[in-house]
Structure 1
């Protein structure tokens, strides 16, 4: 049996930050909860990103919730993907029960119910304020991912985006994209871009158009448009608490490429538009990326490169990203290596693949004087996890099995009436409810096309030079008549005949002289 005093001393030394922190729970030693061994996460280290992993039913979503609650208390805004639609209960204080009271007693932290300010968004527009993005902000790599294009086809999208940027054509929705593609594969458009951008084959153009139409037929084309999300709305605070923005995708769970790539586009915009702030005492925003494995499945090299770049550099904007998935092996090593804070719930080893994932996960943790990592991972109960984070000096803490504190808000969805009322009464719903159409690439190309047609129709008929007679000579009349009746061959015949007659006349004159 390990020495409990040594355990408390080590955990306290590792997990007692100097500044503000999130209280996660208390350490577990030999199956017992040690309330004195408090496990905390320094707020100033949360922009170093994190991972929350574990098998289904082990409590990952509730861990997301308890962290979001304390971030809100600390006046830090949060953005969360609500996959099942069961996080809206954050708005209402939870109700105490025997189990919660017992858990609080074991941790030495009485259960105190609390509710938190939330904002409800939806990609479909049915479950919250419609969340839209402009095609130009999405970019060719992310758009290629949604349309499931290969590298060549994604390269063509890059040409479209470059052409539109060079011409200052706003590309807002899928109609703009289709119009650009049709124009650049037309005779006039192909001629215009041939030298600077290269040729676009009709086969590639047709494939891309077919993929765009498929998105529209699924009723998802409206996520591209205006008003696009104002990123500043994600940084809202109310009464000294950070707002928890929830993107409810429970009605489009069958479109994982769409919503996972959409989230990455938000991160990309945050990375590109937010100012550099360096290391802060606490983050400006924490972004929770649930079902993270969907982001990486089948990702191209260019797409993965985009993710790695964002995760590596966005922390300097004061923004932290926490991925939530079933196993650490779901995340590529190049990304996993940048996730400094880790909460690993139980793993199950029912299959050979499970056993391999367990082995690999255990190897990612440092040696512990108190645990055999692989055995501890399979023995954790619901609401328990192995944790290691960065202390306020950026040094990884001692690995500790932790009994997590329960969330204080309702652990489930709001009832439908309360949910609908919250949506309809919110300022953001009024701001984004109605889509607007502004002048964009499709309009400009259509205007150009009409101007070209009008210009062709209004071309002046060529007139004769000044001083020339408007009356036709007999020979002109004969030639015009011949062109109408005999065509080109007739004209050739008449020309030869005329030449012969003239030669004969000239010859006759010479003989008379």
Structure 2
């Protein structure tokens, strides 16, 4: 039912409960972003799967995260099942054909896919601070660290580079504080502790080289289909902050690398952000602003971003306003927050006079959704109650053996598996520290040698004129010394000297008393 200009989503339900009119997503507006929401078990994953299939068949590469592990089946041929066949008949999908799709598996931990890496420099201070949940003061130090790395030509590639740079900054805290502001050792220590926690959670596997090349996720096959890049995220979800920061980094890299293309006939890449609420949970305002900026501007790069989450309230209004294509699965309305979510979702659709949108959201069955896409001139279509088409690929996960075979046949096999550790900040700072230590040791050795010598020198006199000899060649000649008088005295001499001293002392005291007495009488 789809043509070269659209993707077939499903068929809309009419008042007589039949499904007749096809609902399609126009490729021309595929880069206007989208939103897929719904409670757990309502069919969001299958909707993501059929959208990825549709974009791939139209030659558009796709990047998506496999949060539960069951999206990997998109790489294998679908299997006939009764409920799938019944759905195909209900929406008049004839013929209903099965198909396998070109998939490249990725994994930040390098276990269920090719390793994904980024350098510390590419991540930048803002995303790193978000990743480690740093305070404002600590984020300031992180910005100073990147500034110093740029000034001193220090490459920040992996975690040990950043750790070495922070240790160097702590040792130069007084000097750096005078130039850039207060840098304290306790704050640097707190950042180091957060880096250690991140390392223990597997973050060290993500930072380093070879870094992911954007071109490798934008591949197409020889038959013109777009590659579907599936990120294994079941283990990654144990660290949701790393997951959300990585996807935001990838969006930022796409924004920085890709050229401006305006409004192409079809997207250059479609990006599905599953569990999107993790991106915005407790996010600082500066980060939300960054997401809004990327989503708003990346459209002109030919990239479509589709957020997948349980509740439309998980996405800030400023970002929600940028999402033109919407698929809303069933929501529960038992709590006040859930009731608010239903109202918010209903208010974002263009009303349909055939049914009440808020009521329909709570009554949708599994595989049903309210669909509104951009039609001619980018105007949102009237919301329709739609039965989503069955996927052409397998529903559910593939086996480890199938995954290993697909990875071995991958076009990027062997390119990312072996890490590269070239000279960077860690090695440079280590060399500088060793050179400084060696210089200090040499200075200490010189001081010890100098302390072993006498501090006095002998004068060097010339020899007799005409002797032709050098002072250094002469031996010192002994000088005759006059006989020293003996200090010894006889008993008689000692007695006489004692009497004289006694008499002198007595006479002296008498003279002093006389003088003082005469002075006293005069007053």
| Same fold (TM > 0.5) | yes
Q: Aligned residue for 1:343?
A: 327
In 2, Cα distance between equivalents of 1:168 and 1:20: 49
The answer on 1:198 being equivalent to 2:181 is yes
Matches within 5 A, 1:356-371: 356-371=340-355
CA RMSD of aligned residues (A): 2.2
Judged with a 3 Å threshold, the aligned counterparts in structure 2 of structure 1 residues 454 and 396 are, in CA distance, closer, same or farther, namely same
Q: What SS does the aligned partner of 1:229 have?
A: coil
Larger deviation, residues 372-381 vs 417-426: 417-426
SS in 2 for 1:38: strand
Distance in 2, matches of 1:74 and 1:447, equals 53
Answer yes or no: is the 8 Å Cα contact 1:17–1:42 preserved in 2: no
Partner SS state of residue 414, structure 2: helix
For residues 176-195 of structure 1, the aligned pairs below 5 Å read 176-186=161-171, 189-195=172-178
Q: CA deviation at 1:144?
A: 1.1
Separation (CA, whole Å) in 2 of partners of 1:427 and 1:318: 24
Cα separation, partners in 2 of 1:17 and 1:127, compared to 1, 3 Å:
closer
SS at match of 2:230: strand
- Which residue of structure 2 aligns with residue 172 of structure 1? 157
| Secondary structure, aligned partner of 2:180 | coil
CA distance in 2, matches of 1:170, 1:51: 39
Distance 2:175 2:213 in 1: 35
The CA distance in 2 between the partners of 1:472 and 1:292, in whole Å, is 86
Give the structure 2 partner of residue 123 of structure 1.
108
Q: Does 1:156 align with 2:141?
A: yes
Q: CA deviation at 1:353?
A: 2.3
Q: Match for 1:304 among 276, 288, 298?
A: 288
Q: Mark the structure with the bigger radius of gyration.
A: 2
Deviations 1:18-54 (CA, angstroms, capped at 9, x unpaired): 961111111112261332x221111111111100000
8 Å CA contact 2:9–2:24 kept in 1: the answer is: yes
**Residues 130, 429 of structure 1: 8 Å contact kept:** no
| Gapped regions of structure 2 (runs ≥ 5) | 461-523
Aligned-partner Cα distance in 2 for 1:34–1:423: 40
Partner of residue 386, structure 1: 370
State the match for 1:471 in structure 2. Answer: 457
* Cα displacement (A) at 1:253: 2.0
Distance 1:316 1:271 in 2: 9
Pick aligned residue for 1:215 from 198, 210, 223:
198
Shift of 1:414: 0.9
Residue in structure 1 matched with residue 210 of structure 2 by the alignment: 227
8 A contact 1:17–1:391 mirrored in 2: no
Take 1:279 and 1:422, find their aligned partners in 2: how far apart are those partners?
34
State the secondary structure of the residue aligned to 2:124: helix
Q: Shift in Å at residue 363 of structure 1? A: 2.0
Question: Is residue 2:56 matched to residue 1:72?
Answer: yes
Which whole-Å deviations, capped at 9, do the CAs of 1:103-123 have from their partners, x for residues lacking one?
212212121101100000001
| 2: CA distance, partners of 1:136 / 1:161 | 8
Determine the structure 2 residue equivalent to 1:23.
8
Separation in 2, partners of 1:322, 1:203: 41
